[in-house]
Amino acid sequence: MARRKRGNPVHGWVILDKPYDLGSTQAVNIVRAIFNAQKAGHGGTLDPLATGLLPIALGEATKTVPYVMDGEKQYEFSVRWGEATDTDDVEGDVIATSDHRPTEADIVAILPKFTGLISQVPPKFSAIKINGERAYDLARAGEKVVLKARDIQVDSLELVKIIDAEHAKFKITCGKGTYIRSIARDMALELGSVAHVTHLKRTKVGHFGQNQMISLDKLREISHSAADFAELSQNLISVETALDDIPALAIDRHEKDELKMGRELIPYNSISEYSGEVACLFEGVLIAICECDGVSLKPKRVFNIV
């Protein structure tokens, strides 16, 4: 006899405005408890000292997490010139100083070097694994951490304003795997100085943006005052929102039943115009993500959304 899952079958995305000094896993656990959801995950880690957009997947939305993690990201961040830390942010110890402070013209001139496909060495205090160990665990233990450079995509990097001689604010749009702390570190070196990140806020992940964010305090307030779950569930964004880059295909009831069984499907209607992944929906409800070759649909992920 199958063991009954604890919690409610809640499906959808919560776009959390993560507060400062809260880990991503902690945030997921709090939101999962508020909704009493059976499953939960997130669409891209935010450091505890970072704030802003953390997409949290509940229930069947967890099956779409990879599509969100591969999406475009936007951040706002501030840099302090003249001090480098071992973590490349305010949490670390100062390991180098410089008297040089770049001018606005200097900063603007080097920004093109940090856009497009660029090579970046991640911070040693990062979650990257080295021989099965997290880099930050090795660094905290005093061990030497050597990380290889990796290619990342930066679509845009702009100077928002000069705050004062010591600080500047930036905005970046980038792809998966980009470390903003490394961007700040490398910009400073290019400018003949050193620096670290003092403030970092994520404002976009994939198709999720700031206008969809909700705070933990607001979620708690709603959960305590809501007359029923329906009021709380109004703050859920549909599972298929994470798949907006994938073509949607409407299917009939028979086709739905076949895909639910995990069977390859040759649809009644022509699908010759489709190639690659498609999201199959029945009456607006996501049923499966399928691989389409123009003739048949092979289910890759099947969803159980009531």
Residues 6 or more apart in contact with residue 40 via CB below 8 angstroms: 28, 29, 31, 32, 56, 57, 58, 59, 62
Give the start-end residues of each E strand in the chain. 12-18, 40-42, 51-58, 73-81, 83-85, 94-97, 116-120, 129-130, 133-134, 150-164, 167-174, 195-205, 208-209, 248-250, 276-282, 285-292, 297-302
Report how far apart the first and last C-alpha atoms of the chain are (Å, whole number).
22
CA–CA dist 283, 300 (Å, integer): 20
Q: Which of 17, 21, 47, 88 is catalytic?
A: 47
Closest CA to 31 of 22, 23, 40: 40
**Beta strands 40-42 and 51-58, pairing class:** antiparallel
Number of Cβ within 10 Å of residue 39's Cβ equals 17
Q: Does the active-site annotation cover 186?
A: no
- Two tokens, residue 271: 């699908």
Distance CA 285, CA 65 (A): 18
For residues 89 and 196, the answer to whether their CB atoms sit within 8 Å is yes
Give the integer Cα–Cα distance in Å for 251 and 277.
Answer: 15
Rounded CA separation 57/18 (Å) = 14
For β-strands 285-292 and 276-282, DSSP reports them as: antiparallel
Mode of pairing for the β-strands spanning 83-85 and 94-97:
antiparallel
Q: What SS3 state is found at 167?
A: strand
* Residues involved in catalysis: 47
